[in-house]
Amino acid sequence: MDTRTNAIFTVLLGEYGFTHRSLADEVNRISGRIFGRPGAATDRDVRRWISGSVRWPTGRYLLPLAEIFDRPPEAMGFVPRGRSSRLPAPPSSVRPGQEKPVKRRAFLNASTAATLALVLRIEETPARGHLTLTDVDRINTTIGRLDAHFTAIGGGALLTVATAYIDRLRDTADRCTYGPRVEQALHRAISGLHASAGWAAYDAGDNATSRLHHADALQSGILGKDGRAQARAWSDLSLQARAEGRHREALSINRAALQTRLARQDPRIAALLHSRLAIGHARTGDHGACARSLLAAEKAHDRFDTTAPPPPWLRFLDAAEIAGLAAIAHRATGRLPDAETATAQALRLLGPSMRRNRAYYGVQLAELQLAQGDTTSARATAAAVDTAAVSSPRISQRLATVHRQLATAQETP
């Protein structure tokens, strides 16, 4: 039996300051509130979750854990297995009012999306009355959590949640009263949410929906007079154009974004744009420009202010991601050994919570090894890719293609 240690859950305990005993007590307290009777978790249960001997706790413990750590089970390192991933509804013996903090209808669908909607409490966003900057701050916090979930598990399961929250914020914008400052802040928040939805659609393989969300993100960023939101939207639109094979359009968008004042002032945005510009140059055959853009991305990365936290949507952009994007550019220029080296570097640098990116670059490494005829390494790499806790049809489809090609290679004399 596979009992790999749940490193993500171990890190979470440290970050939140829980001992095994104190976490069990908190789980039991919240379980009592949800189900009407205290839970029976012990420090031994917590040790089993950490060790991996229990890869998917019962719903009586999963729901409290999702509330405590503010993330779905997969983002805590738990791995669903068939029907065991279904969470139960609260028992009928729970009296009305006891379950107020966790709304009953969130239990009707036990998918990752439903669990995430429960944890994020998107229905607490006002849809009537007067809206304040404090309300918008809470909205931005929720969107930041959504971005964090995407980084952890991918976007396939998040599209429904992001779309539902967009509808909620549209109601907020139409039905609440607010002043000009709040209006701009709300447009900025909606821009960020459209960007998240666009990435979720991209991960689900729905390019048309992704493109529409990124265009809406740009429009809302303009209405909110937010340079960062606009830079993010332009960057995402360039990636979407590249994904659809419109490489010169992607180049034009990237160049325009790099000319903005914000791109010149913010090294994180500059690093992202230069990295994607390098890929665009590679796809259009300009290898010299590709090399210059990769160098510019590295120089921008060296200027990162590590004392100030990045905005939630840019937290993924670290040394591992810079290496991974460079690998994509090298691959597009035909420099497969360099691409393999950079991809392996990205995998070494990735943190334990970056499950989605780890699966993405794991598949990319297997593809590169296979393309160079190293079927032995490709087979080992592909076997090690863990997509069980990642919700990304795009990644899963690429991995399936690798396995099919390996099977064919094995059959060839």
Sequence-distant (≥ 6) Cβ neighbours of residue 233 within 8 angstroms = 191, 194, 195, 214, 215, 217, 218, 221
Answer yes or no: do 115 and 210 share one domain: yes
> What pLDDT is attached to residue 3?
57
pLDDT tens profile 361-413: 999 999 999 999 999 999 999 999 987 767 788 888 899 999 999 988 865 44
Q: How much is the pLDDT for 117?
A: 57
Long-range pairs, 161-168, Cβ under 8 A, ≥24: 161/113, 161/116, 161/117, 161/120, 161/122, 162/193, 162/196, 162/197, 162/200, 163/197, 164/117, 164/122, 165/120, 165/122, 165/125, 165/193, 166/190, 166/193, 166/194, 166/197, 168/122, 168/123, 168/125, 168/127
- The answer to the question of residue 323 being in a domain is no
3-state helix, strand, coil in the chain (%, to 5): 70, 0, 30
pLDDT value at 112 more than 90: no
Question: Do 161 and 77 lie in a common domain?
Answer: no
Tens of pLDDT, residue by residue over 242-253, are 888 899 999 999
Q: For residue 98, count CB atoms less than 10 angstroms from its CB and return exposed for 0-12, middle for 13-18, buried for 19 or more.
A: middle
Tell me which of 169, 199, 225 is where a domain ends.
225
What is the pLDDT at residue 110?
Answer: 36
Residue 317 lies in a domain: no
Residue 15 lies in a domain: yes
Q: Which residues of 50-62 are buried (b: 16+ CB within 10 A; e: fewer)?
A: bebebbbbebbbb
Helices assigned H by DSSP within 244-392: 247-258, 261-265, 267-283, 287-302, 319-332, 336-349, 355-371, 375-384
- Percent of the chain whose predicted confidence (pLDDT) is above 90: 41
d(CA 283, CA 409): 28
Mean pLDDT over 120-149 rounds to 81
Q: Which of the listed residues 225, 246, 272 is the one where a domain comes to its end?
A: 225
Residue 349 lies in a domain: no
Shared domain check, 115 and 71: no
Residue 95 lies in a domain: no
Res 85 pLDDT > 50: no
255 phi, psi to nearest 5 deg: -60, -45
Least confident of 102-106, 149-153, 208-212: 102-106
At 286 the pLDDT is: 95
Predicted pLDDT of residue 333 = 95
Least confident of 86-95, 179-188, 238-247: 86-95
Q: Please give the residue range of the domain that contains residue 213.
A: 111-122+130-225
Q: Which segments of 166-245 are extended strands (E)?
A: none
- Most confident of the following: 31-35, 239-243, 389-393: 239-243
Decide which of 403 and 122 is more confident: 403
User: Are the CB atoms for 131 and 176 separated by under 8 Å?
Assistant: yes
The single-letter code of the amino acid at 274 is H
Domain end position, chosen among 201, 225, 249: 225
Alpha-carbon distances, residue 13 vs 68, 201, 388 (angstroms): 10, 32, 22
Query: Which amino acid belongs to residue 358?
Result: R
pTM: predicted TM-score of the whole model, two decimal places: 0.67
Least confident of 66-70, 85-89, 168-172, 327-331: 85-89
138 plus 60 within the same structural domain: no
Number of domains in the chain: 2
pLDDT confidence of residue 337 = 96
pLDDT tens digits, 15-28? 677 889 889 988 88
Residue 390 within any structural domain of the chain: no
Domain membership of residue 46 (yes or no) is yes
Alpha-carbon distance of 245 to 130, in angstroms, equals 45
Same-domain check for residues 136 and 172: yes
Residue 52 lies in a domain: yes
